[in-house]
Amino acid sequence: MALRLLKYAFDRDYAEPRWFNTPATLRDQYDVVIIGAGGHGLAAAYYLARHHGITRVAVLDKGYLGGGNTGRNTTIVRSNYLTPEGVNFYDRSVKLFEGLAHELDTNLFYTKRGHFTLAHNESTLRTARWRAEVNKHYGIDSRLVDASEVKRACPEIDLECGGQHAILGALYHGPGAIVRHDAVAWGYARAASRLGVEIFQQTEVTAVALTHNRVCAVETTRGRITTGKVLSAVAGATPTTLKMVGLPSPVEIVPLQACVTEPMKPWLNTIIVSGSLHVYVSQSARGELVMGASVDPAELHSTRSSLEFVTSLSDQMLDLFPFLAGVKINRQWAGMADMTPDFAPVMGRTAVEGFYLDAGWGTWGFKATPVCGETMAFTVAHDTNHRLLDAFGMERFERMTMLGEKGAAAVGH
Amino acid sequence: MKQFNCPHLGLRPASEFVCAGTAIGSLLQEDSERVRHGVYFGDATARIKREWWFHRAAHLWFLIERDTATDHVIEITLASRLGDADGV
């Protein structure tokens, strides 16, 4: 590292190679157009090229790479869900994440921390036990632990929570990890780019053209592209792309906010989540506490963060960790989350031929980045839903076969 | 702090209210397809919409018209009857 830096300092001609190249102009035709250069879109592009040999792929983004919810989440990866469909899906994602730094040749700072979902009352404890049993059944390391084990893993925690919400126990999930979210997007971008995928930032899709209920082209702010396949991977803007192809939206947009403290020496080794207190927290490699809460109370298409959020979150954090009273909040922000009625995603083929959806990622999307890329690439390449997506189709709202993932997806990220 | 300027309760913090979702009209009839579409599908782009909001302390229901792009509240009306949201 030091040598590399010295070389960079003394060599006038030396330049760090760009992570991905953007051609000057869009081609007239691509086999697949992916809307959204976030983790999901870029991962899909990478797996399309890597697994299916489809390299005439354009990834378009109206903003910058990873500037949406990929760069706004709290970077937690876990698979301790409640429904079998959810557990299998997220478990595949965790497994892909574990080998991803090697595969993408990018340091993702993937660190397995262990993940505690605290129970402050009997009913949360019951759900925790239920989740632990479902997880164990599918071979995932989750178990119910008592308060003393929480204290051993995190001695700084106040088990009484200020006397208001004493911690009774927790759902412990061994594979719970954190990973640098920007690096995931950039790693996929570089790997996809090396295989021939073209990435265009500041290129907004304004319309999707259909003939006989089939995708034939997309209109962008930089011209028209002929294509037979479009993948929408635009968390926070899904209703807009659905409207372009005339489909109604099962997704509503609700802001989700997060913040970080000033950096501290490492003290928090685990990931702590409390559904009752509406907080989740981990400590990043930089030493900042990365904290988030539940979604805002109503639909809103805005990424403005609020004082109410940061004051109420700090209040709850101080119940868990009173010694943080003097620590300052450094940054706060918001992302627009695609909320579905059952807290599960909406994925796969749609009623429009050639229009594929990777949406409904609410507050649980980042951890699914690799598996979404893998399964959506399969779905787009074969025009058949990947088997892991069977339960996630939009038609479940027609058939009333919802998934009921709220107990595991809400707050606990 | 976000506040609602309510014609009945005055200027109140928004946190005193609970949003109960989009006002989609009465769905008491037995047309299950309309119920499904009304409840689960719709135009969810940034727009002006009507929502049900409940004020916990006053125990009153309101219909609030709001711009979901700017969060600007256009109109707050007291919902005195269950059928008030018909036809929206």
Identity of the residue in B41, B70, B71 whose CB atom sits nearest the CB atom of A249: B41
Q: Judge contact between B62 and B26, C-beta under 8 A.
A: no
B 6-65 residues with CB below 8 A of A? 14-15, 18-19, 22, 36-37, 39-46, 49, 51
Dist. CA A50–CA A68, nearest whole Å: 25
- Whether ipTM exceeds 0.95: no
Structure tokens given for A344: 């599960």
Of A109, A125, A124, nearest in space to A77 by CA:
A109
Of A370, A287, A297, nearest in space to A96 by CA:
A370
- Cα distances (Å, whole numbers) of residue A178 to A79, A104, A113, A185: 12, 17, 7, 15
At a CB cut-off of 8 Å and minimum separation 6, what does A53 contact?
none
Strand order in the sheet with A142-146: A142-146, A169-173, A115-119, A271-274, A279-283, A289-292, A252-261, A329-339
Identity of the residue in B39, B40, B44 whose CB atom sits nearest the CB atom of A239: B44
Dist. CA A229–CA A33, nearest whole Å: 6
CA distance B5 to chain A (A): 17
CA distance B1 to chain A (A): 6
Yes or no, beta carbons of B39 and A307 under 8 Å apart? no
CA distance B69 to chain A (A): 5
pLDDT at residue number A413 = 39
Of A295, A302, A235, A336, nearest in space to B69 by CA:
A302
Yes or no, beta carbons of A299 and B44 under 8 Å apart? yes
Strands A169-173, A289-292: pairing kind? unpaired
Q: Judging by beta carbons within 10 Å of its beta carbon (0-12, 13-18, 19+), is residue A408 exposed, middle or buried?
A: buried
Average pLDDT, chain B: 86
CA distance B81 to chain A (A): 23
Of A173, A85, A22, A104, nearest in space to A396 by CA:
A85
What confidence tier does A18 reach under pLDDT thresholds 50, 70, 90?
confident
Identity of the residue in B1, B19, B46 whose CB atom sits nearest the CB atom of A301: B46
Residue B84 predicted with pLDDT over 60: no
Yes or no, beta carbons of A300 and B71 under 8 Å apart? yes
Dist. CA A169–CA A166, nearest whole Å: 9
Q: Which residues of A touch B42 (CB under 8 A)?
A: 248-249
Residue B82 predicted with pLDDT over 60: no
Identity of the residue in A250, A299, A398 whose CB atom sits nearest the CB atom of B68: A299
At a CB cut-off of 8 Å and minimum separation 6, what does A105 contact?
A187, A190, A191
Of A155, A169, A142, A409, nearest in space to A269 by CA:
A155
* DSSP label of A328: P
Identity of the residue in A243, A302, A397 whose CB atom sits nearest the CB atom of B40: A397
In a mutational test of the A interface, the residue from B1, B45, B50, B63 whose CB has the highest number of chain A CBs within 10 Å is B45
Dist. CA A263–CA A285, nearest whole Å: 9
Yes or no, beta carbons of A253 and B1 under 8 Å apart? no
* DSSP label of B7: T
- The secondary structure element, H or E, covering residue A358 is strand A355-359
Residue A10 CB neighbour total at 10 angstroms: 8
Residue A405 predicted with pLDDT over 90: no
Q: Which residues of B touch A250 (CB under 8 A)?
A: 40-41
Q: 3-class SS at A103?
A: helix
Site of tokens 């300092």: A9
Nearest CA in chain B to A252: B44
pLDDT in tens, A69-106: 999 999 999 998 888 888 899 999 999 999 999 999 99
Backbone angles phi, psi at A113, to 5 degrees: -115, -20
pLDDT in tens, A123-160: 999 999 999 999 999 999 999 999 999 999 999 999 99
Q: What is the largest CA-CA distance in chain B?
A: 42
pLDDT at residue number B76 = 95
Yes or no, beta carbons of A243 and B71 under 8 Å apart? no
Helix axes A369-382, A39-52, angle to 10 degrees: 50
pLDDT at residue number B20 = 92
